Every structure is written in structure tokens, then in C-alpha cells.
Structure 1
Amino acid sequence: MTMADPDSTARTAPESVLRDDPVLADVIDRREPHPLEPVENEYERLCVSIINQQLSTASAAAVRERVFDVLEGEVTPDTVLAASRDALREAGLSRTKVDYVENAARAFQERDLTRVGLADYTNEAVIAELTEIKGVGEWTANMYLLFVLERPDVLPLGDLAVRRGIEGLYNDSVELTRAEMREIAEPWRPYRSTATRYIWAEYEA
């Protein structure tokens, strides 16, 4: 296991660093960052990310509500594995996504993938752990890092809205390579998560 370096955490307020980028400073002046809601159930949040894969926001919300109804509001590894696969499919999950939420349930039963269990893992080690689960790719792992573990320096370039948001702000909506985006985002370290939340807010406005 790769251990995180606690001394690498900067103490500066994120916005004071991000304002050194004049483009992002303008966004900070006109937007509130995309919200981070407290996560009490890490497995449930991972399931939400799996449900959201390749769906529009509205479609994902509708499927999520129906799935949670099937589980009677209790989304745990045990309830998912005990649920009828047919009922989950009728709620809107594809056969593949039923497999994926079940795979995640078994992984949570076998390993401690909670915030506490992953506390000493680097971001790269967390991604490696999560992507061992069939159905959890790098995008989903990055959402887990950002929303569940609340890591401060995540840049999820696998997210279309982040890429389009960066292109819109920095290149007149002309396509950029991921290497070019990483170069743009380099000055945002060690607060690329907060920058990402502002990029989302601007893109969604």
C-alpha cells in the first residue's frame, strides 16, 4: 500500500491560490462552486456514480430514485445483494449495471473502502483499489475521490463537463488535448478539486 504524505497538505485557502489564475479568478467572482454534500454512506455514493455512468442528469436521477425505492431507502452491500435482479432491472438498471453494483457490494464486504479505510492511501492507490472492481473505471474512481473522500487535488479529465468547461474558458470552446488541460491546471495545485467545482459551476450556468 502506498502511504499519503500528510506534510504535503497545504494550509492556504483554496481560492487564494486559484485567484492567481485570472480566468479562474473571474469565475470565482461570479459563481459558487459546485456543492459538496456530506457523504455518510460511501457504498451508496459509489452506487450513485455507477448509476450515473453514461446517463443524462435527469435520466440518472429518475433511475436512482426507482432503485432506491426497490431497496426501501437502505442502500448497503447486503440490501443490494439480497435484492431481486429483475426488480433492479425494472427500476431502470441495465443488466450490466446490476452486475456492477453487485460487484461493488462484494468489494465493500471484502475490503474496507470507506473514508476511514482509505485514509492513508494516495489518490493513485485509491484509484487502483477501486478500479479493481469491474464496472468502476477511472471516472467513477475520481468522483469517489472528490465527493466521498473529499481529496483536495483531483482533476477528473475523464469528465466531459470538466473538459468542455476548460475548453470554453481557456480556448474559445476549441478542443484541447488532455495534456494541454493538465498544463492549464498545473497552477491550481494543490486545489484542483476546488477548481474543478468552479469549472462545473460555470459550465452548468
Structure 2
Amino acid sequence: MKKILTPSIDTFNSDNYHQLCDSLGKKDKDLQSVIDRYGYPPMWMRPNSFESLVHIILEQQVSLASALAALKKLQEKTIELTPLTVLKLSDEEMRACYVSRQKMVYIRGLANALESKTIDLKKLENLSNDLVRAKLIQLKGIGNWTIDVYLMFVLQRVDIFPIGDLAVINAIKKLKLLPKSTDKETIQGMSDNWQPYRTVASMILWHFYLSSSGSKMLPL
């Protein structure tokens, strides 16, 4: 069933994704050049689950391969990766799953918030981007980059620009032939030209990054 868009909660989906890509291509010839050369970007999505947020936490400041290895270990250890099964793991068991001491704190904090109903992932689907951010930012280890990725990949919000993502930043510099010294404030200003579809623009930029570098993994 096609999602109904509202002024406060606009999303992308399989029905409108290519149309949004085309709209951006008309506004920005460089984004259009990526589509012309490499095709439409994949519509990267993740389910709205504890496991998805754990995966995003594991991806913080490490390689995607390392994060995925840790996630798979946790999945194997718990059989079903839920807040309750994670809270039953000892420090030693989590370390054996390649989870750092710092991320143990983050993951357990998230698990406790979900178990206590302080955070309800299902209810987040009906909140504005700002309210989702306000709720999640209260949790230790959940910063703006993590929330951006959650909004984009899980809630499929259409107008998020992940200024903290190095792959997106580097893709813009390469695509736009910008000096390596170009600061984030300048790039943030450039992203305003892609409103209200900055998530989709980021997907195109990730697609460019992957396709031009020959990488097979999404650069989160």
C-alpha cells in the first residue's frame, strides 16, 4: 500500500523513489550525470527494529565490515536479537561478539529504554523528524549521525542530509570538483539546493561513491 505523504512526515517508497531521483536530476546536472552513468541508486532500507538501531550503533566510527561482523556475532549469540536477550549478556559475552566497552553502554542503554517503554520505535514512525531527534538524542551514544541514518534508512524520511557522513562529503567534493579543504558549512549550504529531497540526493551520492570507487559496501 502506498504511503500517504503529509507536510510534516514526507517519506520515500518504491512508488515515488525514481520520480524523486528524476526531480533532483532536473535541478542538478551533476546528480543527473550519476543517474545517467550508473542508473538509479538502490533504495536502501532497514526495518524499524532494535536490531537495526544496534547495527547503526555498531557502525559508528568503524568499518562496515567490522560492524557487520559484530552484528552477526550478536545474532548468533542471542538467536533473536532483542532488548531482553541483549540485557542478559555479560560483558565477556559482548566482548566476544566484538562489541567495545563503550558500545556495550550504548546498546544496553537503548535496550533499557525500549524495555521500559521510554522509547517506542513504532510511535516514532508518526512523529516529525525534529521530535524523533529530540527523543533519540537523549540516549547515550545516539548522536546526530546515528539519528540521521535511522531517519533515512529506517523511517524513510525524504529530506535528511547526513552532514556527519564522510562518504557523502567526499562524494560531493569529487562530483562537484571541490577542493579537499571545502568545509562542512559550505557543503551544508549546497545541500539546501536539494530540499525537500536531500535524503534521495544522499542516496545518489552514495551510489556515486560506490560505483566510482568500485566498493561493494554502503559507506555509512
Check whether TM > 0.5.
yes
Q: Does 1:75 align with 2:75?
A: no
2:146 is matched with 140
- Determine the structure 2 residue equivalent to 1:7: 7
> Which AA in structure 1 matches 2:7?
D
Aligned to 1:160: 166
Please report the TM-score for the alignment, with normalisation by the length of structure 2: 0.82
* 140-149 or 179-188, larger mean C-alpha shift: 179-188
Aligned to 2:215: none
The answer on 1:101 being equivalent to 2:116 is no
Unaligned segments of structure 2, at least 5 residues: 212-220
Q: Which string of whole-angstrom CA distances, capped at 9 and with x for unpartnered residues, describes residues 92-143 of structure 1?
A: 01111111100011111223431x3013322122112111100111111111
Q: 1:159 Cα deviation (Å)? A: 0.7
Is 1:175 equivalent to 2:181 in the alignment?
A: yes
* Cα distance in 1 for residues equivalent to 2:186 and 2:169: 11
Could you tell me how far apart the structure 1 residues matched to 2:162 and 2:128 are? 15
Is the 1:164–1:173 Cα contact (8 Å) retained in structure 2? no
TM-score by length of 1: 0.88
Partner of 1:48: 55
Query: Separation in 2 of the partners of 1:200 and 1:173?
Result: 19
Kindly provide the amino acid, as one letter, of the partner of residue 199 in structure 1.
L
How far apart in 2 are the matches of 1:68 and 1:16? 38
Q: Contact 1:34 / 1:200 at 8 angstroms: preserved in 2?
A: no
Residues matched between the structures, number: 198
Residues 175 and 125 of structure 1: CA distance in aligned 2, closer, same or farther (over 3 Å): farther
Q: Is the 8 A contact 2:55 2:68 kept in 1?
A: no
Picking from 64, 75, 100, the partner of 2:71 is 64
Amino acid of the residue matched to residue 6 of structure 2? P
Query: Structure 2: how far apart are the matches of 1:50 and 1:34?
Result: 22
Percent of aligned pairs sharing the same letter: 33
Secondary structure in structure 2 of the residue aligned to 1:7: coil
Instruction: Work out whether 1:194 is the aligned partner of 2:200.
Output: yes
Counterpart AA for 2:131: A
Judged with a 3 Å threshold, the aligned counterparts in structure 2 of structure 1 residues 173 and 57 are, in CA distance, closer, same or farther, namely: farther
Rounded to whole Å, the distance in 2 between the matches of 1:84 and 1:35 is 37
Aligned to 1:27: 34
Higher relative contact order (CA 8 A, sep 6+): 1
